[in-house]
Structure 1
Amino acid sequence: MPDSHIPHSTAELDPKQAAQQLLALIEQLASEANQGTSALPEIQLDSQLDSDLGFDSLIRAELIQRTEVCFAVPLSDQALATIETPRDLLNEVFSALQAPSAVKANIGEIHLEKAEKAPEQVETLQELLDWHVQHHPDRPHLYVYQNADDVEIISYQVLHERARKIAQGLLAAGIEPGHTVAIMLPTCNEYFFCFYGILYARAIPVPIYPPARPSQLEDHLMRHAKILQNADARMLITVNEAKPLSQLLRMQATSIEHIVTPDEIAPDQDYVHVGQAKADDIAFLQYTSGSTGTPKGVTLTHRNLLTNVRAMGKAVGATPDDVFISWLPVYHDMGLIGAWFGSLYHAIPLVIMSPLLFLAKPQRWLWAIHHHKGTLSAAPNFAYELCVNKIDERDLQGLDLSSLRRAWNGAEPISADTMARFTERFARYGFRPEAMAPVYGLAESTVGLTFPMQPRAPRVEYIDRDTFFRSGQAIAVTSNKPEKPQHQPGSTPHTSPTPHPDHTFADSLPLIGLGHPLPGHQIRIVDSQGRELPERQEGELEFKGLSSTQGYYRSPEKTQELYHQDWLRTGDRGLTIDGELFLTGRCKDIIIKAGRNIYPHELEAAVSQLPGVRKGCVAAFAHTNTRNGTEQLIVLAETNLRTEEDKTALRNRIQAAAQEVLGIPVDDIALCPPHTVPKTSSGKIRRSSCRHLYDTGTLNAPQRAVWWQTLRVAVAGMQPTLNQFVRQAKSYLFAGYMWLILGLLAPPVWLLVALLPSHLAWRVTRWGARTLLWLTATPFTVQGKSHLPPKGTPGILVVNHASYLDGIMVIAATDRELQFVAKSELLGNTFARIFLEKLGTHFVERFDTEKSLSDSQKLAEASMRPSPLTIFPEGTLYRMAGLHDFHLGAFQIAVDKQLPVIPVTLRGTRSMLRDQSLFPRRSAIDVIIGQPIYPNGEDWHAVLTLRNRARAEILAQCGEPDLAHETTR
C-alpha cells in the first residue's frame, strides 16, 4: 500500500536547525488553525500540543503529514497517539531517519468460497457466531490491520475459541450472567475476543473509548467513572498502562472489582455453559455521553441488534460476496454494529484498521478498498473531507475504487459540498456518484434508521432560506439551484475547493436526503404539541420500530423523557419530502465533537470560575465550518482584560479548563467585552443568539445603549416564538375550519343520499366532495381523465390508499358512478353503512377465509356492471409514507373477466389527514389516472404481471418509497 511518496532520508540533519524548522512549521499550522483570531503563545520544544496550542487529533494528523514532507521521512504509525510536545515529534523524526525500511505484508484481494448469511431464526449474537462455526468454521471473518503493513486473519472458529476462553476467565473471576463488564481497548484482535467472551459468559459488554494518548490515561479514566458507576460495571478490561490506576478508579467507581488486561483472563479450563441467552436479553450498553452530567446507556437487546442488521442488509442488498472496509472505532455503534455485526450476520469479510491509522494517513482507507476489492464502507463526513483535502495526488497513483458500491456517510452533520467534491475528485479513480449514500441513525434505534433504498446519487433539495427560517416550510428553489461545481483552470480539486452552495446562493438552503425508514421502522415529524406535520414542514423527528431501545440503563427518568406515547424522541429536527427524511438541526444545544456528545453547561461553569472571566457570562456552542463541513466547539467569554498579553494567558487557561473537563481542546475562544453574551430575562444564556453573533462576525460591533440591546435581544427572542405561534394558530384554524365545513356538509349530504335515487345520490356526493375542496381552498388537480373507461363500460380502478380522504378525492376527480369495495367492519357503523350501501359499495370480509372467497365471487359478478369497480389493493391504511403490497383479488377478477385495470394515484392526501390522526392540515392534492392496462393471458402469471404493472405505475407517480415485503433491494 503506497502510504506516502516520501522516501527515507539518510542525510545528516543538524538538530538545532531541525528544531527551528519544526517550530516554524508548528507556528504556521497554529496560526492557520486559529485563523488569525487570537495571539499565539510562544512555542517551545516542550510546549504541550493539546493544552498550550489547542491541537486536536485532526490538527495533529495535519502536523504529522507536514512534518513528513518537511523532513522527507515517513513517521511511525504510533506518532499520532504518542507525541505530546514538539520535542517528542522531533525525536520521532530522528528515529525514523535511523530506522530500516519496513517490509510490507502481502495485502491483496479477498477470494472466499460461496457461503450463506445466517438465517432469520437466529435470535442472539451467541447463536449467530455458533451458526457460522457450525457451517463454515474456517472461513475468514476479520482481517485486522496490526499496523499499516501487517494484517492478521481471524476465522469464525478462532473467534469462537478465544472468546470462550475469555468467558471462562470471567466466570472464574466471579462475573455472573447479567453483570456488566466494560471494555476499554483500541481496535485489536483482543477487543473482538473480549466482546464475545463477555457475551458467552451471559454478561453485558459496555464499550468505552480508549485514551488517545497514554499521558491522558488518568484524566480519561476519571471522565469514564460516571459511565462505570451508571453501568454498575464489575470489571474493566483495558490496556496494561491503566492497571496502576486501579485503586484510584475504584474510589470513583466502587462497583469495579477487577481491572485486567485480556491476557490475564484466559485460563486453561474448559468453557462452562451458563445457559442460553434470550432474544430480549440486553446484548450490550451503548453510552451516548460520558463527558458531562449523568451518562445515558442505551440498552440494546439481541432482538434490537439482529433486527437492525437484517433491515440494513435488506436495504443495501448485502451478500457474503461483499467485502466491508472499516476504520471506524469499535466502541461506537456505527463501527460496532454497522460494520462488525452487519458483516458477521451476512458472512461478509470485514477488513478493519485502527482509527489512528486512518487519521495519520487517510489514503490507507482508500488503498484498503483498492487492495481488498471492498464493496461496502462507511464514515462520518469529516473522513470524506480529509480525503479531499489531505491526500496528495502522488499517493493515489494506481488507485482503483470501482469495486465500491456503497459508501455510507453518517454519524455527524453531512455536507453537500463535501460529498460533491469527494465524488468529483475520486471519479477518476473509479468512484461512482451512486456509491455515496447519506444515512441517518442513532443509538436509540440501535444504529440505522433511514437509508436510501436504491443506489442513486445523493439527493440535495434546495429550499428558500428566508421562508424556511421564518415559517419552517421547505419551499423548493429551482431557478437558483447550483450547477455542478467547476474548478478553475490550473487548480486541483483538493487544493481549491468549490464554493459551498450556501455561499453562492444566499437565498437557498441545501437539505440532504437521508433515505426512507428501514423495513419495520417508522418516522414522523411533529410540532411542539406532538401533532404530526405534513411534508415539507419542519418539526421534531420521532421514530419507532423493532430496533428501538427499551430505554436507558438504570435511568427511569431519562427513559420517560425519551418516549412520546409509543414514539421515541430523537432530539433532532427535520422534515420529510416524498416520505424521505431531511434533517435541519438539533432540538437541544448538544455539541458533537470528535464523535462525542458534549453538553455545554459544564464547560461554561468551569470557564466562569477562571480569573479574568465575568462569572455567568460564558457560552459554549457549536459552529459549522462551511469550508469542510465539520462541527467546531466555540467558547464565548466576557472579560474586562485589555492587553493582548493578558487575553492570551486567559485563552490558555480556558483551553486548559476545556482539556480538564472534556479531554479535548476547543476550536476557537472568542473574548468579548461585558454585556456581549445575550441572555434571557431570567439570566439564561441564549446560545443560539451567541452562535448568530459569532457566525455573522458581529461580536466586536460597537456597543449600543443597554436599553437598545435589551430591546433587540427581546425582539430576536420573540420572533421565533411568534413565528411558531402563528404556525400553530394557522394549523389549528385550518383544522377547526375543515371540521366545521365537514360538519355543515355531512348532514345534508348524508340525508339526501339516503333519500334520493342512486343516480341522484351520486350527484349529491360528488357535489359535496368538490364543495369541500372549494371551501377549504385545497389545490386540486386531476390528470388523465380521458383514461377512464367510457361511460357504461366496465373496468377496474385500483387506487393507492393513504388517507381517510381517498374515497372523497376519487369521487371529486371522476364524473361517473363507481363501485367501491370496503371492509366489512364498516357494516357495524350505521351512519357509514347506510351512506355506502346507497352508493352501491361492496363489503368484503378480511379475516374469514371462506366468507372472503364468497365475497370475491360476488365482486367478480359485479365487475361486469357499467360502473367501474374501485378497489384499494393495499387493503388498509398506513400512517407512514410508502406503497405497500397489493392484494391480488382485483387483478384475478380482471384476468378472469378480461377487464382493463386503470391505476389511479393519489398524492397529498396522507399529508392532509393521516391514519391515526384527526387533525387535518392544508395540502395540495393530485389525482393521476393512468392508462388502462389489459390482461395478457388467463393464467396465474397473467395475474401477477397485471398486478406488477399497475403497482409500478402507481409507485412511479406517488413519490413515496416502495414498502412491499417481496421487493428485493
Structure 2
Amino acid sequence: MSVDERLLRLIDALCRELGPGRPPARLDSHLERALGLDSLARAELLLRCEAEFGLRLPQRLLGEAETPRDFFLAIEEAEGRGGREQEPAMPTSAQPVAAATAATTEPAPDDLDTLGEVFAWHAARQPDFAHIVHLDDEGKAEALSFGRLWREARAVAAGLQAREIAPGDAVALMLPTCPAFFPCFLGILLAGAVPVPIYPPARPSQIEDHLRRHATILANAGARLLIATAEVALPASLLRGRVESLRGTVLADELIAAASEFVPVPARADQLALLQYTSGSTGNPKGVMLSHGQLLANIRAMARAARIERDDVFVSWLPLYHDMGLICAWLSSLVYAIPFVVMSPLSFLAAPERWLRAIHDYRGTFSGAPNFAYELCLRRIAPERLAGLDLSSWRIAFNGAEPVNADTMARFIERFAPCGLRPEAVAPVYGLAECAVGLAFTKDRGLVVDRIERESFVAHGIAVPAPAASDALRFVACGRPLPGYEIRVVDGAGAELPERREGRLQFRGPSATAGYFRNPAATAELIRGDWLDSGDYAYLAGGEVYPTGRAKDIIIKGGRNVYPQEVEEAVGRVPGIRAGCVAVFGSPDPASGTERLVVAAEARAPDDALRLAVQEAVVGVLGMPADDVVLSAQRIVLKTSSGKIRRAASRELYEGGGGVTAPRAVWWQVTRLLAGGLLPQLRRGMRAAAGWLHGLWAAGSFLLLAVVVWLVVAVVPRPRHSWRFCHAAARIWLRLAGIRLEVSGLENLPRDGTHVLVVNHASYLDGIAFVAALPFGGWRFVAKRELAGGFVPRIFLQRLGVEFVERFDFAQGVADTERLVEAVVAGHSLAVFPEGTFTRVPGLRPFRMGAFVVAAKTATPVVPVALSGTRDVLREGHWLPRRGRLRVTVGESLVPDGSDWNAAVRLRDGARSAILKGVGEPDLQA
C-alpha cells in the first residue's frame, strides 16, 4: 500500500472515531472545513502518523497543515532524510546539569530596582550558570547561560540603538518559543525600550484575522520596530502598511549578530518595562502597563508564597507572549536564578507526555498550566506512556489563567498519583494581567472544592454550603492574597460584602497597574479609587477567594445568574460535540426585557437529534432550556491566542446573523492585507518624500548662509561683533528650516562678570541652537582640538575666540585646564559642552570635570544650559534636518563653595541635575 493510501486510511479511521457523517478523506480535503479536524484532532493525527510510519514529523504541521497533502509531503521529506525513529527520550543528562547549576547560584538581592539590574547582577556573578534549557521539537536541549544571554542581549540592544530605537519606544516581539526570544526581550530592556510580546500567526488560513488583531495592538502601543523570525518575516512585514508608527521588521538573528556599540541606558523602578496585552476574551486587547518595580514586586511576592529554594527547577511549555509563561515562569526563574526548562506549546499539544517527561528528567519542582492542559494529559496520554514516569519532585502544580475544573483536577491527581504526584502539590491559583500575573496563591494544601446550594446562589448570590448528595454548584478555592496584596468583594454600589456573598472582585497591591496604555476609557472602568476591578465575580470564604465567572460573561435570565462555563462543560460532554468548542452567552431580547440564553457549539455532524441532546444537557444543569442552540461543523466558537473562549466575539458573530463563511485562500488574504496597507504606505511615502525635500532645502540654505557667515567672520576683527552676526544668521536659518526655537531663563544669564556656561551635547545643531538662543556674546567656546585640523573650521573658530583642548592626552589635558584658568582670570567667560561628544542614543552622558575644576579654582559661577530637541531634528548619522522644536533653558547660576576637587564635583552634580530637568532624556551617568 502506498504512503498516501496509508495516510488517508489513517485519517478516515480518526474521522470515524470522531463521529459519522464525514466524507472520505482525499489529499486535498480541508482538514477543518471538510473533515472537521480541529487543533486537538490534528495533534492526534500527528501522533498516529509518527507511529504508523516510524518517523519524527515537524511540530509546525499542527499550525500550518491545511490538507492531508501537507502531512503526505512532510512524511516524504522525513523518509528522504532517513528520519525513521521513534519518540526520543528526554536527555538523561538533564538531572545532573540542573543539580550542579542550582547548587552554585544565588537569587538577586531584593534591593535591585529593575530587571536590567537583576540581569546584570547575575551575568557578572554567575555567568556560567545554565539558566535556560530550551527543548526543541526533537527533544534536544540547548542551554543558555547568563554569560551568553548577556552577550547576545547587549548585541540586540546595540542593534536597536543603531536602528534609532530610543528609551521608551515600544518594540514588538513576534517570536515563537525559541532561544532567540530571551536575548531579544532582555536586549529591549537594556536599550531602555518597552517589549510588546505578540503571538506569531499560527495558521496561514487565518493570517488575515491574526494580523488585523496584531495591527490593533501595535497601533495602540505605537510600536516602532517588530522583531520576528525568518518563518514569519513575510506576514510580519505586512503589518508595516497598517501600523503608522512601525518603521519596519528585523530578524532576531540579525540583532543578535549586531556588531554596533552599545550605550548603556539606566532605568528606574517606576519606568515602563512591559506592555502586556490582554488576550481579549471579553473584548479588544488592552495594553496593561507594568513598570520594573511592579514586575519585581509581584515576582518576589509569588516567590515568598511559594518559598522558592536554590534547588528548584521550573519546567514550562506556556507561551512566552502570555503573562503566565513570561512573568510567572521565565522572569521569576530569572530573578531567582533557577533553571528554566522550556519547550514550545506546539510540542506539548503534539505530545502532552513531553511536559511530564521533562518534569521527570529535569526533576522539575514548579510547573503549571491552564485547566485544559491537565484535561489534555488525561485524554491523550496512554497508560503505556507512563512507564517509569516519576513526578515526585513536582512541588507545586499550579492551575490558573482559566476556570479550574474540580473534576479535571481530581481525575488528574488520581491518574498520576501512582507516578509520584502528591495530591497536596496541586495548587489552584488566581491572577490577572492587571496585577502583573499573580494575586491569590495556594500551597501544600491540594484541591479544595466548595459545594453550595444552587437556588440560593443563582437567585440571591449567597453561597450556602450544600449537602454532599444534593445537586450543588461547585467552585474551587484559589487561595489567599499574596503577601502585600488585598482582595475584597463589593456589590453594585461599591459596598464591601461579607463572606459567602458573591460580588465584584477588587484588589490592590504593589503590582497593580496604573491602567491601560493609551486607553483612558478602559482605565476609568478598571480603577475604583484605591482599588482595581478585576472584571470577575467571586466570593470569599475562610479568607480564600472562589472565582465564579467573568462579569461580562454571566447571563441574567429571568432574574437568575447563569454561569456559562458550567453549561459549556455539560454541552462539551455530549457525544458529537467538539470538546472545548462550546460558547454560552446572553443576547438581549427586547421583547422580554431579559437576555436570551444562546448555546453555540461546533459539532461533527449537526442534526436535530444532536440539538435535542444539547438541550437535554442544558436542562440538566439549569433546569431550563436554552433559547437558541446553534450547531455548526465549521468554526463559530472564537478563541484567544491562549485558548480561552471569546464569548463576546462569538456573541457578535451570532448577532450579526450567525453566518460562517469558509476562510479565504491565503493568497487572497495577503492581497487584501496588501491592498489595505496601500493607502497608509502611500501617506508614509509622501511624508518621507516631503521630509526629504524639506531636508534638502534646509541643508542647501544652511550651506549658502554658512559661506556668507564664514566670510564675514573671517574679516570682522572683533569676536563680539562676529557673535552677533552669527546669532542673527542662526535665527534666520532656523526659520528657513521650519525649526521653532523656544528660549526660557534668559534672566538667569549674568550680564556682567565672568562665568562658565555648561551645555548638554546631543547633535551637530547644538552650536547653532546655542548661538541663536543667546542674544549677546562674549563667551569663548571650548572645543576639541581635532576641529583645528582643517583650514575652514580653524579660521572660523579662531576668529570667534574658541579655546581648543586635548581630549585624549592626559598631560596635555592638564595643561589645557591651566590655560582655561588663565583665560577666566583674564576676564573671559567660557561655554563648554562637558559631555565631550554625543551619540544617536538619547540621554545625558557623563560630564568631564575640566569646566568645573576651572570654575572652582577661579570662584566663577557655573550656568547650566539645557538644549532639548536638537537630537530629534538632526540625529547623529543623518545629514538632512527635519522640522521640529528646539528648547533652550538657562538655569540659575551655581556658585562654587570651595576651590578643591570636591567643590568641583558638587558643581558638576548641581549642573547635571539642572540640565536633566530641561532635556527630558534619561541619565546615562555610569
- The answer, yes or no, to whether TM exceeds 0.5 is yes
Tell me, what secondary structure is at the counterpart of 2:430? coil
SS in 2 for 1:230: helix
Hey, what's the Cα distance between the residues in 1 that align with 2:18 and 2:144? Answer: 42
Answering whether residue 508 of structure 2 is matched by residue 544 of structure 1, we say yes
State the superposition RMSD in angstroms: 3.5
CA contact (8 A) 1:319 1:347 kept: no
Specify which of 233, 247, 250 is matched with residue 243 of structure 1.
233
Q: Quote the Cα distance in structure 2 between the aligned partners of 1:206 and 1:634.
A: 37
SS in structure 1 of the partner of residue 451 of structure 2: strand
State which of 457, 462, 465 in structure 1 corresponds to 2:451.
462
For the residue of structure 2 that corresponds to 1:570, the secondary structure is: strand
Relative to structure 1, the CA distance from residue 449 to residue 351 in structure 2 (aligned partners, 3 Å threshold; closer, same or farther) is: same
Contact preservation (8 Å) 1:463, 1:508:
yes
Write out aligned runs for 1:673-692 (5 A). Answer: 679-681=588-590, 686=595, 688=597, 690=599
Deviation at 1:444, TM superposition (A): 0.3
Residues in 2 aligned to 1:694 and 1:542: alpha-carbon distance in whole angstroms: 39
C-alpha displacement of 1:334? 0.2
Contact 1:551–1:562 (Cα < 8 Å) also in 2: yes
Q: Runs (4+) of structure 1 moved beyond 6 Å? A: 620-623, 627-635, 682-685, 691-696, 699-702
Q: Report 1:622-771 matches (<5 A).
A: 625-626=568-569, 667=581, 679-681=588-590, 686=595, 688=597, 690=599, 697-698=614-615
How much has 1:467 moved relative to structure 2? 2.0
1:567 corresponds to which residue? 531
Matches within 5 A, 1:40-439: 40=22, 43-69=25-51, 73-96=55-78, 99-101=82-84, 106-109=92-95, 110-111=98-99, 112=101, 113-214=103-204, 216-245=206-235, 248-266=238-256, 268-269=258-259, 271-289=261-279, 294-439=284-429
Contact conserved, 1:227 with 1:290, CA < 8 A, in 2? Answer: no
In structure 2, distance between residues paired with 1:633 and 1:520: 48
Contact 1:385 1:628 in 2 (8 A): no
- In structure 2, the CA distance between the partners of 1:622 and 1:63, relative to structure 1 (3 Å rule), is farther
Contact 2:56–2:78 under 8 Å retained in 1: yes
TM superposition score normalised by structure 2 = 0.60
The structure-2 alpha-carbon separation of the partners of 1:404 and 1:669, relative to structure 1 and needing over 3 Å to count, comes to: closer
Matched residue, 2:762: none
Which residue number corresponds to residue 964 of structure 1?
none
- C-alpha deviations, 1:562-591, integer Å up to 9, x for none? 112211111111101011000111110399
Distance 1:345 1:701, change over 3 A: closer
Contact (CA 8 Å) 2:369, 2:400: kept in 1 or not? yes
1:293 deviates by 6.2
- Deviation of residue 510 (structure 1)? 1.5
- The one-letter amino acid of 2:15's match is E
Q: Distance in 2 between matches of 1:667 and 1:443?
A: 24
Cα shift at 1:537: 0.9
Q: Which runs of 5+ in 2 are unaligned?
A: 556-562, 602-609, 620-624, 628-926
Q: Distance in 2 between matches of 1:631 and 1:445?
A: 37
Amino acid corresponding to residue 415 of structure 1 in structure 2: N
Query: 1:519: Cα distance to partner?
Result: 0.6
* Partner Cα distance (2:354, 2:253) in 1: 29
- Pick one of 454, 466, 469 that aligns with 1:477: 466
Q: Corresponding residue for 1:868?
A: none
The one-letter code matched in structure 2 to 1:297 is G
User: What is aligned with 1:17?
Assistant: 5
- Contact 1:117–1:319, Cα closer than 8 Å, also in 2: no
One-letter amino acid of the counterpart of residue 667, structure 1: C
The offset of 1:330, in angstroms, is 0.6
| Amino acid paired to 1:525 | V
Matches of 2:590 and 2:524, distance apart in 1: 30
**Quick check: 2:375–2:408 contact (8 Å CA) kept in 1?**
yes
Give distance in 2, aligned partners of 1:512 and 1:298.
Answer: 27
**Alpha carbons of 1:185 and 1:685: their partners in 2 closer, same or farther (altered >3 Å)?**
farther
Cα contact 2:271–2:292 (8 A) shared by 1: yes
Alpha-carbon distance in 2 for matches of 1:700, 1:438: 27
Secondary structure at 2:497's aligned position in 1?
coil
8 Å contact from structure 2 (residues 201, 232) kept in 1 = no
Equivalent residue runs for 1:834-913 within 5 Å? none
Task: Name the stretch that deviates more: 177-186 or 460-469.
Answer: 460-469
Write the letter of the residue equivalent to 1:139: F
Would the alpha carbon gap of residues 200 and 402 (structure 1) be closer, same or farther in structure 2, given more than 3 Å must change?
same
Match of 1:527 among 491, 498, 522: 491
Matches of 1:14 and 1:232 in 2, distance apart?
53
Contact 1:541 1:570 (8 Å CA) reproduced: yes
Please say if residues 18 and 576 of structure 2, whose CA atoms lie closer than 8 Å, have aligned partners that are also in contact: no
Would the alpha carbon gap of residues 229 and 101 (structure 1) be closer, same or farther in structure 2, given more than 3 Å must change?
A: same
**Structure 1 range deviating more: 151-160 or 205-214:** 205-214
* Superposed displacement of residue 511, structure 1: 1.2
TM-score (norm 1): 0.58
Matched-pair contact (CA < 8 Å) for 2:22–2:34: no
Does the aligned pair in 1 maintain the 2:134–2:142 contact within 8 Å? yes
What do the CA deviations read for 1:484-523 (whole angstroms, capped 9, x no partner)? xxxxxxxxxxxxxxxxxxxxx5x21221110000011111
Tell me, in whole angstroms, the C-alpha distance in 1 between the residues paired with 2:38 and 2:537.
29
Q: Percent identity?
A: 46
Could you say if the C-alpha distance between residues 286 and 29 of structure 1 is closer, same or farther in structure 2, counting changes exceeding 3 Å? farther
| Aligned residues of 2:451 and 2:468 also touching (Cα < 8 A) | no
Show the counterpart of 2:758. none
Secondary structure of the residue aligned to 2:375 is helix
CA gap 1:256/1:683 in 2 versus in 1, 3 angstroms? farther
- Distance in 1 of aligned mates of 2:23 and 2:246: 42
Structure 2: which amino acid aligns with 1:466? E
Shift of 1:221: 2.2
Aligned-pair CA distance for 1:167: 0.4
- Contact 1:621 1:634 (8 Å CA) reproduced: no
Determine if contact 2:330/2:340 at 8 Å carries over to the other structure. yes
State the distance in 1 between where 2:548 and 2:306 align. Answer: 25
1:174-223 per-position Cα deviation (integer Å, ceiling 9, x unaligned): 11001100000000111001101110110000000112235544542233
Shift of 1:61: 1.2
Listed as ranges, the gaps of 5+ residues in structure 1 are 1-12, 481-504, 592-619, 636-664, 671-675, 703-707, 711-969
